[in-house]
Structure formats: structure tokens, C-alpha cells
Amino acid sequence: MTALPVAGHARQATRRCRQAFWRPSVTTSAAQVASQATAAPAAAPAPAAALTTAAPAVGSSSSSAALEGLSRLPHPSALHIGNLVPSLQAALAGLQAAAAAPAGGAGREAAAAASPLLRGLLSRAVAVIESPQAIDDALGVDAPLLVLECLSHLAADSGSDGRRGTHAAGLWRRAHVVLGETADRAGMWSLLDPSTMTPNEIVRYYEAVARWPLAASPSKSRGLGLLLRSHLTNGRFSASEGSRLLTAWAYLRRRQPFNPDAYNFSDLSTLLAGRVGELCGSELQAVAAAAPAFSWPVYASMPLLHAVCREAVHRSMAGALPLPQAQWVLAASVKGAM
């Protein structure tokens, strides 16, 4: 009795794939992958895990060094504009290493032990970036972005204590304002100097907002919007950065009312569809999982789903993509096209 609905879904998925991705030489294989995909899809990548693992991977030795760096951070009273960015980078590296450590491992213990120092450091960092000297020296977006990223990795710890959570939320709001004001001050000049906030920095910003449960909606800064639009229009995002940005947007969209500009999504979708061959297997899965969050026809998601699905089928036939991953990508793409 229970086999009938599954078979019906399989036949429906097969018909859709034949209509959208017809290739005379690969029809049989594509249909086989489609039917197997709907019957037994592989496990989906967890959105939170995708946001957590977006940071560059570190080896065991560099991970240990990053964790040790948590206990060697400068005292908050010694923080100033000259050592602000390097100190925040060291703190973020330690937090990322701790997040990658096994539950109950030494990494999380080190992060917990360094928590008072970290919070003091972040409080002082926010005070520094709000100072008139920081504005006069044109400190840029590095420092406020690093503060937001550090706070986003303290999510679990912040949520367990009401006072600490309130304090962290206050720091987030203040750093968020500084980031938006910095982008606004750049204004139209940011279009002439794309390095004001690089594509990777924009991706890191949206990932931080998506990762932290206490975060409000993304900034509506005009400067940040101009930068995002400029980078998308000029195709400055790499395929990997585009995959990460789409994943962060989808996670935000599922968690709160978030509607990215349809033109921005269209440009991002076009970029990813044109560079789908540059995506690795896990990135193909991430795009297939994220695209259905942007419903058609408000968002032009269908061409991207077609491109991702075709790429998964072709790679699977060539032996370059494991069959379970290809099945999952195909099933997610068909679901998103419905």
C-alpha cells in the first residue's frame, strides 16, 4: 500500500526531468537517477553546518594554535586602533577552531574559559570602532565585520544566560550600525573602489547574520546595497562565494521575513548557473537545497535549478559525482521546480 505513492512520485520526477533536461544519449541514465533520487534521497546538508563550515578549514596544528591564541588575546584595556583588527582576527580564528572541535572537547573548554576575556575584548572593540578617531582614520569595515562574526560564534553561550545574551545583542546592534554607517560614508565612491567591501566580506556578513539567532534582519544600508549590487552586476563573486551567499540568504529567509531584491537574486542566479561547473559536490547540494526557498515566479530560480540538475546528472554519468549526491541534488531540484 505504501509503495504506490512513492512510485507515483518517481514517475512524476522522471517525466519532469525528461521534459527539462532531454538529452538523446543520456535519457535512460537520467531517468534512472531521477527515479532513484525520489525513492531514496541522500541526507541533506544541514543549513547551520553549511554556515559553520564556510570558514577555511584548519589543520590540527593550526587549530591548536588558534585555540591557544584565545588565552593570549590582549587585555581589553590594551586594545587600540593599531592592534584592533589583528586581535579580532585571532579571536575569530580561535572561535572557529572551537566550533569545529568535538562536543565536550578541549576546544570548547578553551572557548568557555576565555569567554570573559572575549566579551571584554568585544565590548572594548565596539567602543573603539565608535570613537571619533576611528571615523577620522577611516577604519573601514574590517573591524565591525569581525566583531559581528565573533558574536555569531558565541550564539550558544549567549543564549544560556539572559544578561549575557542582552549584552551580546547590544554589542551586535552597535557594531551593525557602525558597519552600515561605514558603507554609507563610502557612498557612490564605493562603486569606484570595489575593495571598500569585497565580495567575500559581503558573504561573511550575511553568513554572520544567518548564523546568530539573536541577530535582527540584514542591514538596509544604502552603501552596502550599492556594493552588493555592483559586485553582482559585474560578476565579481566566485562560484563558491555565490553558493555561500545563496545558502545564507535561504537560511535567513526560512528564519525571518527576508526578501532580497529580485534583481540581486536574478544576477546571483545567473552567475551560479553560468559557473555551475566550478561548484564542488557539496556546493551543488547547497545550491539545490537553497534555491527552492525563492519561489517562482517572484524569483528567477528555475533556470538555476535546471542548470544544477543537469550538472549533477552529467557528473554522475562521468563518475565525477557519487550517485547518492546526484540523487539528492536531482530530488531537491525537482521539489524546488514544483
pLDDT in tens, 228-268: 998 999 999 999 999 999 999 999 998 888 899 999 999 99
Res 46 pLDDT > 80: no
How much is the average pLDDT of 110-116?
A: 60
Residues of the domain holding 333: 1-40+269-338
> Do 186 and 296 lie in a common domain?
no
pLDDT of residue 1: 43
How many domains, the chain?
2
Q: Taking residues 296-306, report their average pLDDT.
A: 82
Q: Which of 36, 45, 42 is nearest to 17 (CA)?
A: 36
Question: Among 137, 163, 194, which residue terminates a domain?
Answer: 194
Are 25 and 71 within one domain? Answer: no
Q: Considering 154, 179, 194, which residue would you say is the last residue of a domain?
A: 194
Q: How far apart are CA 215 and CA 152, in angstroms?
A: 8
Q: pLDDT-derived band of residue 21, with 50, 70 and 90 as boundaries?
A: very low
pLDDT at 208 over 60: yes
* pLDDT score at 31: 43
Residue 20 has pLDDT above 70, yes or no: no
Output 217 or 204, whichever has higher pLDDT: 204
Global confidence as pTM: 0.78
Q: What is the pLDDT of residue 126?
A: 96
CA distance 213 to 312: 33
**Residue ending a domain, choose from 167, 194, 221:** 194
Who has greater pLDDT, 119 or 186? 119
Would you say residue 47 lies in a domain? no
How many angstroms from the chain centroid is the CA of residue 274?
20
Do 84 and 140 fall into the same domain?
Answer: yes
Residue 227 lies in a domain: no
Q: Beta-carbon neighbour count of residue 262 at 10 Å?
A: 13
